[in-house]
Amino acid sequence: MLVVIGAAPTIVSCSSSATLSPEQRDNVALMAHFDSLRPTASPDRQGEIGALIIFLAFGAQVQHVTVTVGSPVQYSAVAALEVGDDTAGNPVDSAYELIGWSNDSAHTILELLLADTSVSGEWTSDQGFGFIAAQGAWSVTHTPGACVSLVDRVPPDVSLPSHERCTMATVTVTAPDQTVAIDFPRTGLFNIPTQSVPGIRLDARPTPPEFSFDMAKVRRR
């Protein structure tokens, strides 16, 4: 959500190979599957599904992540470290975003953003939605290798951010037990047990301010 991107979507420099690995084929199939769910989803869920497709398109691996929102659930998830660079290409701001879903039909989608020591997020389900604000921690481990881009296989109705440099990254994330507002006025336990989640790192190249806008607006177009 902190990534600054260009207004005109373009295909990033890396491209997918002609022969896809099983994991890459899974990403392509998931992009098509989630795209099929978007037309009947609520606006919030359309945004979350769009974010899922974007991460999958840049080559984020699907992981299993345990998060307690009232009760502990193991989600399938993709994650990205989103970094903003200055005009010299030096990172000046960053946030970590994790998007999880609970089953193939994505009856529940959880979107969490970690910045500094705070966790903010939203969950949506077939029964309702809620917001989360809590304390957490995260640290980054460098992972060698470039992303395997699948942007040439993204559904045509999905707008991708442009000018992104994508590399691999692993983030260790944790949030201690805490009682937070989950669905106003209901409260519940929130927790992320310490776990390492392989994902991607997206570095936004500097763009003139008049041509910049944030990731959230792209997803919800």
Give the residue with greater pLDDT, 55 vs 211: 55
pTM confidence score: 0.81
Task: State residue 180's pLDDT score.
Answer: 92
Both tokens of residue 129?
A: 């939605």
**Cβ neighbours, 10 Å, residue 125:** 15
> pLDDT tens digits, residue range 120-178?
999 888 777 889 999 999 999 888 888 989 999 999 988 888 778 899 999 999 999 99
- DSSP letter at 61 equals P
C-alpha 106/C-alpha 148 separation (Å) is 25
Tens-place pLDDT, residues 194-205: 999 999 998 876
Q: What pLDDT, on a 0 to 100 scale, did the predictor assign at position 90?
A: 63
Least confident of 66-75, 81-90, 175-184: 81-90
Between the ranges 44-48, 85-89, 146-150, 196-200, where is the mean pLDDT highest? 196-200
Would you place residue 87 in the very low, low, confident or very high pLDDT band (cuts 50, 70, 90)? low
pLDDT at 8 over 80: no
Q: 15 falls in which pLDDT band (50, 70, 90)?
A: very low
The Cα 74–Cα 132 span in angstroms is 17
Nearest by Cα to 46 from 218, 183, 209, 175: 218
Q: Is the pLDDT of residue 40 over 90?
A: no
Structure tokens at 159: 């707008």
**Which of 4-18, 93-107, 191-205 has maximum average pLDDT?**
191-205
Cis ω before 193 (30° cut-off from 0): no
Q: Are strands 71-85 and 212-214 parallel, antiparallel or unpaired?
A: unpaired
Burial class of residue 106 (count of CB atoms within 10 Å of its CB; 0-12, 13-18, 19+): buried
Give strand pairing partners of 130: 123
